[in-house]
Chain A
Amino acid sequence: MISLLTYIAIILGVIAIARLVKVYELSSTLKGVENEAAVSESDTRFNARLMMPFLLAFFAFCVYLTYSYKDNLLPESASEHGVQIDTLFNFNLIIIGIVFIAVNILLFYFAYKYYSKKGVKATYFAHSTKLEMIWTIVPAVFLAVIIIYGLSVWNKITSPIDEKEAIVMELFAEQFKWTARYGGADNTLGESNYKLTADMNPLAIDANDKHAWDDKVVNGEFHIPVNKIVLMYFRSKDVIHSAYMPHFRAQMNCVPGMKTEFHFKPTITTAQMREKTKNPNFDYVLLCNKICGQTHWNMQMKIVVDSEEDYKKWLSEQKTFKEKNMAQVENVLNVAKN
């Protein structure tokens, strides 16, 4: 019934517009306008006069959005390099903000000011080498600054670090969950082989590699200490995922068949961030940022940034691979004996 009414409403609507158009055309033919020019002077004037109000409304909308959503934007960066990223972002934002405002003002102002008036002829102005040089060179100079500044930050973020200086860990992605693994006492991740994947060994860790025995696999949440570099390796079991940690301005894809890496130094503990954001429930989070299937939108893991002592205490409570997979490790030891 409702759909029938909808159809009737749509059909009547179309007929109504058709009638209106017809009436309008007949009346303008009677008045004798519109027949000459394809665009009437009054129409041009009307549209030109809408230009500046539109621009003002648009800018007002931008201000309104900034004002009402500024508290929802990501809080200050909780990692060392993230602060540099934010500074770089703000620097670029100022430049592009000026360009955005200035160019739109020029555009809409000219679009309003120079609308066609009786007896006015346009100025024949086909080119000017000087002007064109200006707006080639000025953007080029600004872009040079943006490129050099941007790349210096990028190089700092991505330059390799010594594993010894960092806490080595791994984030393992699969549809639709994360698992974390720590290098353990030797701070080295054991080798893995995807063919070893099993219920007891979801990360396909190779028990033949002794480095694996002290590795610690954790689910649900993982902890990292404040002010220590964390070197993360990423793997995926099935499709591409992306490990995105927005509070640390950190992100890297997890690609099946590949090992990718990213490192950063957290600078604010979860407890400190809860105070700063005045949100007692605040938590850092790891989420998936590459389309990976049905529950892509809910593939998450909690991150806790602890003081060094708390981190050590938490980690000591986690079981090693050897403790969890006794049988496999003993098997390897037996083979070695024989």
Chain B
Amino acid sequence: MSSHAHTIDHAHDHGHDDHAHDHAHDHHEQSFWTKYIFSTDHKMISKQFLITAIFMGVVAMMLSIFFRLQLAWPGESFSMLEYFLGKKWAPNGVLDSNMYLALVTIHGTIMVFFVLTGGLSGTFSNLLIPLQIGARDMASGFLNMLSFWFFAVSSVIMFYSMFVETGPASAGWTIYPPLSALEEAIPGSGLGMTLWLVSMTLFVAGSLLGSINYIVTVLNLRTKGMSMTRLPLTIWAFFVTAILGVLSFPVLFAAVLLLIFDRSFGTSFYLSDIFISGQAMEQTGGSPVLFQHLFWFLGHPEVYIVILPALGITSEVISTMSRKPIFGYRAMIGSILAIGFLSFIVWGHHMFITGMNPFLGSVFVFTTLLIAIPSAVKAFNYITTLWKGNLKYSPAMLFAVGLVSTFVTGGVTGIILADSALDINVHDTYFVVAHFHIVMGASAIFGMFCGVYHWYPRMFGRMLNNKLGYAHFWITFIAMYGVFFPMHFIGLTGVPRRYYSNEAFALFENLQSINVLITVFAIIGALAQGLFLFNFFYSMYRGKKSTQNPWESNTLEWTAPVEHLHGNWPGELPTVYRWPYDYSKPGKDVDFVPQTVPLSAGEEEH
């Protein structure tokens, strides 16, 4: 216990502490419990987040394969479905239609919240914030531990909810009431929905504890010389992401709380004039649209909570692996801030056809399309960074290039969807599914893979196998476009999302072959993740030992020793003299100059 208190003390008087030497040496053997389970060390917590997210990601991916089987071969029997889902939900191997809705709901929930919010921010904010700003740990190691445990418990509850008798939540990941409020409307809105709400409540609590910690750490614990304009773009992205989380997640919490009241205590925040199961309900005067406003007030910043860390990670990786400074560093910070700000005033674009006042819709069209400007700046800056670079293709760099491609390809269709007049016809169709899976799903997951491949040596002290990484990237990349690009066409045929089968409509009768194509790509993509999983766990024990700075990078995390220390650096904390992107600077012998190297006489900063 004393050693913990010690660490935290030291983390506070960062910079030039005389005790640092003593501290580094007195870090004695910890028990299994304090080291691996109830750890307060940011590096261990980041691994806990990552491995939990990988588990949840594999679950969510398998769910998507289950429902893709039904979409490609409706009504056909798959022993795999009966094996995993049981006789109740897949009688004779045919997916039940209520279970189909449950699968899409839980797939979406896990991917958005547990993998791309908890997993992405949790892993990399924790790993990189202290290491890249030169701090011994997070501002509060204890809150950080709590943040993970809230996340872990909420993951367990969400996972458990899939096994309750009436099935998990099935009202879509956006859980619009009244569907999500009434057990009579869909069985998943019984115990399954209760567990979903409990799980998300804990998730929000964990996310807030994490975010507050990230903000405080970035603001207060930067090492000597690390001004805000010398921060790596990863840190800027995590910082703004944390602010978005702190401002928006409480609103989801409020929305969820009011829904719990409506479900359990007979209030009518969202319910009004409903006649169901042969009975008129008491509730009157509420508005289901209110829920949508509250939900999307979180929901839209949420997509930037997902994508900003991915963009931060790729900024860092593209610059390092191009051996070239990131182009337009300040413009990149500006666009992160602009995207963060705008993300709070665009939520209504999810609601153009809810009966919302059309003038209000116009306002949201305007603000939404504005986001395209900072996004375009980011894309062009990435491409200019590649221009005349000296590109080295680690698997991380491949995923970074992949991210820029998906960010652009998926981003441009956002311009269609943000246009309220066009949204009338494509709203809630597969066009939307294609759009957000490419721009948010694929981009963010590529950002996450990019981060894992790049910082794996920093996490585990060993290298991942490159060859497996290359195979993983190319198969995933091809499968990703193979799955999601054709969905634009399905959407333009008018197929609504969340349809168990397209067979009820003559309008959709020629789409079976395209659905088979998508499912085949989905299965190939899913299998390719096996390469990653193998590489990840195998290399943890058998991978080649990493050198201290394998990518010849400038940032501070690579100045710390490979072996993990409580407190990160033995001795004094590093002092920073320059920005993190001095790659291939003229007049230098090597093509990188770490942030800890003082400016030489007459050298300009940048």
Taking a contact as CB atoms under 8 Å apart, the answer to whether B274 and A238 are in contact is yes
The answer on a CB contact under 8 Å between A257 and B428 is no
Q: Is A237 close to B, CB under 8 A?
A: yes
With CB as the reference atom, state the residue of chain A lying closest to B363. A151
A146 to chain B: which residues have CB within 8 Å?
369, 415, 419
A127 CB, min distance to chain B CBs, angstroms: 5
Taking a contact as CB atoms closer than 8 A, the residue among A195, A204, A253 that contacts B354 in the complex is A253
Q: Cβ of A311 < 8 Å from any Cβ of B?
A: no
Q: Which of B382, B389, B581 contacts A114 (CB 8 A)?
A: B389
Interface-facing stretch out of A162-170, A285-293, A315-323, A330-338: A285-293
Given the complex of chains A and B, what is the CA–CA distance between A297 and B355 in angstroms? 23
Q: Is the CB of B422 within 8 A of A150?
A: yes
**B280 contacts partner chain A, Cβ-Cβ < 8 Å:** yes
Interface stretch (choices B147-155, B212-220, B256-264, B402-410): B402-410
Tell yes or no: B129 within 8 A of A by CB: no
- Verify B405–A2 contact, CB threshold 8 A: no
A292 and B170 CA atoms in complex are apart in Å by: 10
Q: Is B3 an interface residue (CB 8 A)?
A: no
A314 close to chain B: CB less than 8 A: no
Within 8 A of B (CB), among A292-307: 292-298, 300
B534 partner, pick from A14, A24, A96, beta carbons under 8 A: A14
Contact between A39 and B478 (Cβ–Cβ < 8 Å)? Answer: no
- B222 adjacent to chain A (CB < 8 Å): no
Task: Kindly list chain B residues whose C-beta atoms are within 8 Å of the C-beta of A153.
Answer: 421
On whether A3 and B83 interact (CB within 8 A), knowing A43-B466, A107-B408, A294-B186, the answer reads yes
Assess the B362–A123 pair: CB atoms within 8 A: no
Whether A240 lies near B376 (C-beta < 8 A) is: no
Q: Is the CB of A74 within 8 A of B494?
A: yes
Residues of A within 8 A of B581 (CB): 126
Among A44, A122, A150, A250, max chain B CB count under 10 A is at: A122
**Interface hub of B401, B468, B496 (most chain A Cβ within 10 A):** B496
Contact (Cβ within 8 A) A104 B494: no
Query: Given that A14-B534, A255-B354 are contacting pairs, would A114 and B387 also be in contact in the complex, using a CB cutoff of 8 Å?
Result: yes
Which of A135-143, A179-187, A208-216, A218-226 is the contact stretch? A135-143
Whether A104 lies near B408 (C-beta < 8 A) is yes
Inter-subunit contact B467/A24 (CB<8 Å):
yes
Q: Is the CB of A258 within 8 A of B287?
A: yes
B175 to A, closest residue via Cβ: A291
Q: How far is the CB of A50 from chain B (nearest CB, A)?
A: 7
A328 at the interface (CB under 8 A from B): no
User: Taking the nearest CB of chain B, how far is it from the CB of A130, in angstroms?
Assistant: 11
Give complex CA distance A296, B176 in Å.
Answer: 15
| Docked complex: A146-181 residues within 8 A CB-CB of B | 146-147, 150-151, 153-155, 157-159, 175
Interface residues of B in 532-591 (CB under 8 A from A): 534, 538, 542, 544, 547, 550-551, 581, 583-586, 591
| Beta-carbon contact of B365 and A126 below 8 Å | no
Interface-central residue, A40, A47, A57, A143, by most chain B CB under 10 Å:
A47
Instruction: Flag whether B372 is at the interface (Cβ < 8 A).
Output: yes
In the bound complex, CA of A313 to CA of B583 (Å): 79
Please tell me if the beta carbons of B358 and A154 are within 8 angstroms of each other in the complex: yes
Q: Which residue of B lies closest to A55 (CB)?
A: B405
Question: Once the chains are docked, how many angstroms separate the CA of A104 from the CA of B383?
Answer: 10
Q: Which residues from A are CB-within-8-Å of B547?
A: 38
Query: B284 to A61, Cβ gap below 8 A?
Result: no
B504 touching A298, Cβ below 8 Å: yes
Chain A, Cβ-Cβ closest to B537: A14
Do residues A246 and B507 form an inter-chain contact, with CB atoms below 8 A?
Answer: yes
CB distance from A8 to the nearest CB of B (A): 16
A285 with B365, Cβ < 8 A, contacts A114-B391, A135-B380, A251-B353 known: no
Chain A residues in 8 Å Cβ range of B247: none
B229 at the interface (CB under 8 A from A): no
Residue on A nearest B287 in the bound complex, by CB: A257
Is B416's CB under 8 angstroms from A47's CB? no
B118 contacts partner chain A, Cβ-Cβ < 8 Å = no
B385-399: which residues lie under 8 A (CB-CB) from chain A? 386-394, 398
B535 to chain A, nearest CB (A): 8
Contact B506 A281 (CB under 8 A): yes
Q: Looking at the complex, which one of B387, B424, B583 makes contact with A250 (CB distance below 8 Å)?
A: B424
Instruction: Decide: A294 and B101 in contact? CB cutoff 8 A.
Output: yes
Cross-chain contact A155 with B186 (CB below 8 angstroms): no
User: Which residues does chain A contribute within 8 Å of B179, judged by CB atoms?
Assistant: 239-240, 291-293
Q: Does A103 contact B (CB under 8 A)?
A: yes
| A73 neighbours in B (Cβ, 8 Å) | 489, 492-493
A200 at the interface (CB under 8 A from B): no
A202→B186 CA distance, assembly (Å): 21
Q: Is the beta-carbon distance between B428 and A242 smaller than 8 angstroms?
A: yes
B401-439 Cβ-contact flags toward A at 8 Å (1 or 0): 100110011001101100111101101110000000000
Centre residue among A82, A123, A261 by max chain B CB count within 10 A: A123
Which residues 488-506 in B have Cβ within 8 Å of A in the complex?
Answer: 489, 492-494, 496, 498-502, 504-506
Q: Are B416 and A92 in contact (CB under 8 A)?
A: yes
> Is A127 touching B330 in the complex (CB atoms < 8 A)?
yes
Contact at A123–B388, with CB atoms within 8 Å? yes
| 0/1 string, B273-305, CB within 8 A of A gives 1 | 111100010001111110000000000000000
B585 nearest CB across to chain A (Å): 6
What residues of chain B lie closer than 8 Å to A100, measured between beta carbons? 408-409, 412
Q: Is the CB of A54 within 8 A of B477?
A: yes
B416–A89 touching, CB < 8 Å: yes
Known contacts A73-B489, A150-B422; A296/B355 CB under 8 A: no
Give the contacts of A236-291 with B (CB-CB under 8 A).
237-240, 242, 244, 246, 249-253, 255-258, 260-261, 281-283, 285, 287-291
Among B10-18, B26-34, B317-325, the one that faces the other chain is B317-325
Once the chains bind, are B273 and A92 in contact (CB under 8 Å)?
Answer: no
A188–B56 Cα distance when bound, in Å, is: 54
Contact B398 A157 (CB under 8 A): no
Question: Could you mark each residue 201-236 of chain B with 1 if its beta carbon is under 8 Å from any beta carbon of chain A, else 0?
Answer: 000000000000000000000000000000000000
* Pairwise interchain contact A296-B499, C-beta atoms closer than 8 A: yes
Please determine whether B388 and A154 come into contact, CB atoms closer than 8 angstroms.
no
Q: Which residues of A contact B386 (CB under 8 A)?
A: 107, 110-111, 114
- Kindly state whether residue B245 has any CB partner on chain A within 8 Å: no
- Taking a contact as CB atoms under 8 Å apart, the answer to whether A122 and B499 are in contact is no
B507 with A256: CB separation less than 8 A: no
Q: Are B390 and A239 in contact (CB under 8 A)?
A: no
Are B393 and A296 neighbours in the complex by a CB distance under 8 Å?
Answer: no
Known: A21-B467, A114-B391. 6 other contacts (CB 8 A): A125-B387, A127-B330, A154-B419, A157-B424, A238-B276, A291-B172
Of all A-B residue pairs in the complex, the 6 with the closest CB atoms, nearest first, are A257-B272, A246-B494, A260-B355, A158-B358, A96-B412, A47-B393
| 12 A-B contacts (beta carbon < 8 Å) | A82-B425, A85-B425, A100-B412, A122-B388, A124-B325, A155-B358, A157-B421, A287-B494, A287-B505, A292-B179, A294-B101, A297-B504
